[in-house]
Amino acid sequence: MSGRGTIYNYGVVYDCPVRLLQQDQPFNVAVIMLDEDPGIQMYSHLPGTPVDAVPVGARVAVIFEATANGQKVPEWRVGSEPR
């Protein structure tokens, strides 16, 4: 996998059911479609992208971020290289 994709869609979460994420509200949750198969989606908070300013259709690259408990998760960043 190239680790590249496109922002297909997004919403902004203001009322999150997951306790560990409530301190970060509001936050973006974008739907990413992978270059290799646009039918495969991944979610992302799009670190670095302001809330509700998500550029639908923009190119993104995967990064790995640690959550509040240290759990590493795949995230996506607009216009960057995979890392």
Partner 1 sequence: MTPQHPPASIYRTTEGLGLWEHRGKVAAVGVGHSPTARRWDGKPETCVGAWSILALRRAIADAGVSPDQIDGLVLDPVTTTGAYWAAGDPVPLDVVNAFQPTSDPLDGIAKLSAEWIVQNMPELTNIQFVMYGPRCMSHAIVVAAQAVGAGLTHTCLVLKSWHNFEGRYYQGGANAQDAIDGTSAISRLWGTPASYGTAVQFAEYCRKYGKTHDMMAPFISNSRRNGLLFPEGYWAQHRPEPLTTEDYLAARWIAKPANLFDNDIPIMVSAAYLFTTPERARDMRQKPVYILNHASSRAAPRSLTPTLDEVEAETAKTGRKLYEGAGITAADLSFENMYDGFTLFHQFHLEGLGYRGMKFGEALDFYQTDISITGPNPVSPSGGNIGSGRSRFWMHTDCIQQLQGRAGARQITGVKPEIAVSGGPMPLGGNFTVWSATPA
Residues near partner 1 (CB under 8 A): 8-22, 26-27, 29, 31, 39-45, 52, 56, 67, 69, 71, 73
Nearer to partner 1, 15 or 83 (CB): 15
Cα–Cα distance measured from residue 69 to residue 10, given in angstroms and rounded to the nearest whole number: 25
Phi, psi of 80 (to 5 degrees): -105, 175
To partner 1, the closest distance from the beta carbon of 6 in angstroms equals 13
Q: Give the torsion through C-alpha atoms of 22, 25, 28, 31, to 10 deg.
A: 20
Nearer to partner 1, 12 or 78 (CB): 12
